[in-house]
Structure 1
Amino acid sequence: MTYLALRRARAIALACPLLIATPALAFDASGNEIADTFFEIFEAGKATVTGYDSVEEDGDTVTITGLRAAINDNGSKTEMTIATMSFEEGEIASGGGLTASAMSMNGVAIQSQEDGKDVNVTVAAIDIDDPVLPSAATVKAKASADAVAPSYSRAEITGILIDSGKEGKIPVSSVVAVIDEMDGELPTAGSLTVEGVEISAESLDAEERKTLTDLGYDKVVLGLSLEADWDPNTGALDISDLTISGTEAATLNASLKLNGLTREVFAKLEAAQGKPEEAMGIMQGLQVVSLSLRLDNESLVDRLLDAQAKESGATREQFVGQLSAALPMLLSAIGNPDFQKSVSGAATAFLNDPQSISATAAPAAPVPFAQLLGTAMMAPQTLPTILGVTVAANQD
């Protein structure tokens, strides 16, 4: 429920809920061209502007106060209020869209109801640089899309609180998205940063709360960062950095390079959503260039080992020794002795001194997905060799 609420909040507050199926316009015209164009775009989907307090123009800035809106989407009811919303240097595009040098919202509150459960999301501020909102006509024409989001160069959401009632509250300090390059409506280069996602014991159910507190945590504060670059012409996708971190826990870093994800392949994958077999067939033309994973431990692994040792009635040293001794047998199912020895050695070193552990796939030449799938079925023990996988522990 929390994930659905966050996704809905992002879609409404950041992308503006420009959903399909256009109803009759319900808003009262303000007489201000910028504000009325925004209301028209806003209502080009299942959103309805139910009211606003005022629209004022001061130089190049148009400010809407007390905006109220509602959405009824297949039984999921959502109401939203925005205390103040402003456009700086707003202009009406020739096709009826709306552009501005900046768009900001303050005091955003979203109330959603799904499956009879209420979820409230509040946002202190949303600041968007260089927003480009599509015209109402464009929204209507894209009847196959779930939503039409505005493009922008940078968007920042701060002071987020997701309140799922009895299921708990999750605050998020900030979300920052930067788009460096676009290909039509598709972002092709940019970054995403999420900071201060606070998971507290009181926000979890009894079993999850026990798991967290048994590890000695009252709360865990998570963060995420992503940098990616995609060339839709050549099909090269480079996720140069994906980092997920938890304070006093651990940091996971990943990177990935793929070939073959062209504009046409991407469109086919979009059309195949909800059809896993069809999507799998499309993906067989992709190629893995490289992949890396690295876990840097702060204290999470130590806490896990201590907890498991306590549960088994052994000291940590005894538990680590037992686990290390069992690794060769556990890994024998791989059927690749050299790789098994490498993994066992790295894992043993990490368990005895948990600093970091990493795995890197660097094949001599890009490996097609089709080859990987075939190998996984016919000779899985050769996958580490084909991909050039290496595993290492406690290396800088």
Structure 2
Amino acid sequence: MFHYRTLRTMLTGVALAALASPAFALDGADLVAKLNAANGASGLTVSFGSIVTDGDNLTLQGTKVTPTGGEPTEIGDVRLEGVAEDGDGGYTVETVRFADVNRTEGDMTITASDMQLGGLVIPANADGKSLDTMLFYERASSGPVTVASKGTEVFSLSGMEGNVVRRADNAGLDYDGTVSGIKADLSQVEDPKSRETIQKLGLTTISGKASMKGGWALDTGLMSVDEYALDFADIGRLDLSFAISGYTLDFINAMREAVEASQANPNKDEANNALGMSMMGLMQQLTFNNAKISFADASLTKKVLDVVGAEQGVSGEQMAQSLKGLAPLMIAQLNMPELQNQIAQAVNTYLDDPRSLTIIAAPAAPVPFPMIMGAAMGAPNTIPQVLGVTVKANE
């Protein structure tokens, strides 16, 4: 009985040891190979010096990123936490942590910390025919980032964060992102005239934030940027939004194939010409839905009028009146009667009380890109009508 129990215990130990042996360990080299395959369209290749495996964690030591035809850039160790095989030959990674950056080139020093990706999905077969076969991540973030010139900090931000959410049944994606705590020191601008103007405007240092959100529907290829905003104190908020359709998976795959063919061609001039022609052809598949750009003033306009007026020996109010008189003459050169009247009225309204300016392009029905390109080449003055352009102020 003793020998039987001893033998059973030994066999159990052997089985457990076998399960824990390197044969069953994560294959980091395979993961990186599939990552590069899925990321091929970007033209970036990831390489490493060695891989350290620790349970379900991998560390790529001496990691480098190399653009096609370019020189490799060292990015240090990259740690992948919570790595798991998905059962189909692909991988999921809970968190990817990048090494902090502290790099100096010439007079410029860049630092960045706490950079990471979350919810990374690396497909086994990156054919791009569905969301399941595309490289995907759920979130990306960074801690503080600084840029210094000659030892003086000229730009910084406190953090960045982005999120991507799959729609039900993989019908599309929704995304959002923020960049917070943006600061810039404009007192270091080298051009004396520009530096003097910046000082007069009281903008030697500026601070603000940026935000973005939108979505993508696979069936129609509707790609929308619902918000892309830059908001700076004592300057104003610039908002941009647009939507195009036709940006389907087939379009993306065709674009990827064109890029890959260009990268494989050793004759760079020929490759660039071929890529340009391919892109022009692909653009024919897209349709313009709408676009909007607006600026909400936060005292910048009055400051500019005061500064420019002082240079002309007049007050800011007198400068505004002068611009109101010049605007119709300048706009008349556009040869767009309907739009000219809108612009002139909007400029007058805005200069009297600077609050907001908005330009909207909203055609009655989506406009194919070939129609826009045809109008631009044959009759440029018809583009506002084709796109349904309107200009408004203080609304």
Normalised by the size of structure 1, how large is the TM-score? 0.72
* Residue type at the aligned position of 1:384: P
Single out whichever of 260-269 and 179-188 deviates more from structure 2: 179-188
Tell me the equivalent position of 1:350: 350
State the shift of 1:213 in Å: 2.7
Contact 1:250 1:299 in 2 (8 A): yes
RMSD: 3.9
Tell me the equivalent position of 1:197: 182
Contact 1:79 1:112 in 2 (8 A): no
Change in 2 beyond 3 A, CA 1:215/1:187: farther
Output the CA distance in 2 between the equivalents of 1:355 and 1:40. Answer: 53
Output the CA distance in 1 between the equivalents of 2:24 and 2:102. Answer: 26
State the shift of 1:94 in Å: 4.3
State the shift of 1:72 in Å: 6.4
Change in 2 beyond 3 A, CA 1:112/1:364: same
State the shift of 1:127 in Å: 3.9
Change in 2 beyond 3 A, CA 1:50/1:286: closer
Output the CA distance in 1 between the equivalents of 2:334 and 2:111. Answer: 49
Tell me the equivalent position of 2:241: 255
Once the two structures are superposed, the pairs formed by residues 279-318 of structure 1 within 5 Å of their partners are 279-318=279-318
Tell me the equivalent position of 2:40: none
* Residue type at the aligned position of 1:37: G
Tell me the equivalent position of 2:117: 128
- Indicate the percent of aligned positions where both proteins have the same amino acid: 22
State the shift of 1:329 in Å: 0.8
Once the two structures are superposed, the pairs formed by residues 172-191 of structure 1 within 5 Å of their partners are 172-181=157-166, 188-191=173-176
Change in 2 beyond 3 A, CA 1:270/1:67: closer
Tell me the equivalent position of 1:78: 73
Query: Residue by residue, what CA displacement relative to the aligned partner does 1:172-193 show, whole Å, maximum 9, x if unpaired?
Result: 2222121112899997431222
Contact 1:76 1:112 in 2 (8 A): no
Single out whichever of 370-379 and 350-359 deviates more from structure 2: 370-379
State the shift of 1:38 in Å: 7.1
Larger fraction in helix: 2
Output the CA distance in 1 between the equivalents of 2:161 and 2:24. Answer: 30
SS in 1 for 2:349: helix
Selected match of 2:145 from 120, 135, 160:
160
Output the CA distance in 2 between the equivalents of 1:121 and 1:259. Answer: 38
Q: Max radius of gyration: which structure?
A: 2
State the shift of 1:196 in Å: 2.5
State the shift of 1:203 in Å: 5.2
State the shift of 1:236 in Å: 1.9
Structure 1's unaligned 5+ residue stretches are: 1-29, 143-147
Change in 2 beyond 3 A, CA 1:272/1:225: farther
Tell me the equivalent position of 1:99: 92
State the shift of 1:99 in Å: 1.9
Once the two structures are superposed, the pairs formed by residues 1-396 of structure 1 within 5 Å of their partners are 37=28, 41=32, 49-50=48-49, 62=57, 68-70=62-64, 76=71, 78-81=73-76, 85=79, 87-88=81-82, 90-94=83-87, 97-100=90-93, 102-105=94-97, 108-109=100-101, 111=103, 117=106, 120-133=109-122, 151-163=136-148, 169-181=154-166, 188-202=173-187, 204-206=189-191, 209-271=195-257, 275-395=275-395
Normalised by the size of structure 2, how large is the TM-score? 0.73
Output the CA distance in 1 between the equivalents of 2:166 and 2:300. Answer: 38
Structure 2's unaligned 5+ residue stretches are: 1-20, 37-43, 260-271
